[in-house]
Amino acid sequence: MSVSLSTGKLAVLAGRYPLIVGALGTLMSLGVMAISFVTLMAARDGAIAHVHETSRNVTAVLVSNIARTVDTSNNSLLGLIAALDKPAIQDMDPGLRHELLFDRTAAEYVIGMGVTDDRGRLIDGCCSNAFHADFSDRDYFTVHRDSPNVGLYVSHIYQARTRAGAESIALTRRINRPDGTFGGVMIVAIDANYFKRLLANLDVGPRGITAIVRTDGTLVARNPPFSPSRPVNFGASPTFPRMVNHDSGFYAAPSTADGILRLYTFQRVPGTPLIAVVAPAQGDVLASWRRLSWIVGIAASSVSLAFCAVVWLLAFALRDYAKAQVLLMQLTQIDSLTGLKNRRALDEVLENEWGRLQRNDDCLSVLFVDADNFKQYNDRHGHAQGDVALKHLAECISRHTRRRGDLAARYGGEEFVVVLPDTDERGAAEIAEAIRDEVEHGQPGVSAEPVPCFTVSIGCATGRRLRPASLDALTNAADQALYAAKHNGRNCVVCAGDTVAAA
């Protein structure tokens, strides 16, 4: 039962503030959509973080393969240079020396090995020890000629002069004479297709790319490859300095070649100017997330809008319910004939005012008003005219009880009660006399025909804080004063003999 009452009170309270209820419903709907949005964005960040981790692993594998190839080739170069420094090898027959140094089985990616003199002429190699090609214009020759401390050098891609123009990359080291002067270059030529095959084995999505670039922006290999007419220098990209200035990293940027936004993961190959790049397209990475976003977004929006609409409809329904409850409450507290409060409302007000009187040092007056000889009045003029007389009496009482807190109520039949908070004996007597005088000299009828007047008798009682012990004592005192007025001939006001005080 208490739950039902609490629910009813809550419904009435909500009905008083429908806009607040609707606004709260709207905020809840927006909250659901906000949570959905935050969840989706977290899923998006998770998808990007996952592809970053995957790309980093792929890049690490790619770098490991390239580094192993470079290390193997570098060790071969160091071994060849060390062998050439030995006097026994230098004094050996050229044919035997060639077989010893260059006719060993090389790795599949190595397509040439050779040594040049200080003028760039090939003096021996696995290609042919009789073919004296001139490599003095190659970058891998000039860099060692001009600087003694280059160490291992990785060249740009070039077209080989001894292998039908095959694209190659040279790994070279400087050869020094015993006095430290430049004596030539030792070369290991690697097939450029080796790097392309490495990239071709990596799957980075329909629009993703993998690439190997030099720190100067020169492209070594790319999958998918550029067309021959397209420029192949990465250095034009505004984001390329990030790759040059860091050993590894991750960033998102649109490609300068095709405008596609990609997620670039890069890592430097140790000891070389090479950078391995893995860059799946963001659109490919987020394709599943976008489908999920549409589903979740439409579902969350639909549910939120439906919930919001239901809350607003419910809010206005509760508003109408609250109005109906207020109207019903008014109907249960108002006398239908006179428009004054009824006895039920009177009892509530008397209880409240009595409680206030006990807390405050004030006074409370009660008037009992009764129409004189009203039964005879009804018999003489009819019940319809009697009702008009009661309405007139109610109007007279209302005109003299307009203060906030004053209450006029129909007690039953032709008897009325007036409650006057903060009113002493004298004030109560004046109001009572004003009511009595207006009733006696006023015209009650709404009919055009003159109607005989009637009179009222009024009993007054005033309570204070000290006595009596209960509210009933106060109302009984006013009732006794009314009986005294009747006994004194009616059409008069009688106040209780003693001032009644509340405990």
The predicted pLDDT at position 445 comes to 46
Which helix or strand (DSSP H or E) is residue 160 part of?
none
The predicted pLDDT at position 173 comes to 93
Average pLDDT across the chain, whole number: 85
Decide: 455 and 468 in contact? Cβ < 8 Å: no
- In CATH terms, 85-193 corresponds, of 3.90.1170.50, 3.30.750.24, 3.30.450.20, 3.60.20.10, to 3.30.450.20
The predicted pLDDT at position 8 comes to 66
HEC string for 101-151: HHCCCCCCCEEEEEEECCCCEEEEECCCCCCCCECCCCHHHHHHHHCCCCC
Give percent of the chain with pLDDT exceeding 70.
Answer: 86
Band (23; pLDDT cuts 50, 70, 90): confident
Tell me the average pLDDT across 404-428: 92
Tell me the average pLDDT across 52-64: 95
**Which tens digit of pLDDT belongs to each residue from 321-355?**
778 877 777 777 888 888 899 998 899 999 998 88
* pTM of the model as a whole: 0.62
Lowest mean pLDDT of 82-86, 290-294, 396-400, name the range: 82-86
**How do the domains of the chain map onto residue ranges?**
85-193, 334-501
The tokens for 444 are 């009650």
For 11-43, give the DSSP string: HHHHHH-HHHHHHHHHHHHHHHHHHHHHHHHHH
The predicted pLDDT at position 232 comes to 61
Lowest mean pLDDT of 92-96, 134-138, 248-252, 395-399, name the range: 92-96
Amino acid sitting at position 201: N
Which helix or strand (DSSP H or E) is residue 401 part of?
none
Give percent of the chain with pLDDT exceeding 90.
Answer: 48
Q: Is the per-residue pLDDT at 452 higher than 80?
A: no
Higher-pLDDT residue of 21 and 396 is 396
**Which tens digit of pLDDT belongs to each residue from 61-96?**
999 999 999 998 898 888 888 877 776 666 665 656
The predicted pLDDT at position 127 comes to 56
- In CATH terms, 334-501 corresponds, of 3.30.70.270, 3.40.50.300, 3.40.50.1360, 3.90.1170.40, to 3.30.70.270
Pairing mode, if any, of strands 500-501 and 209-214? Answer: unpaired
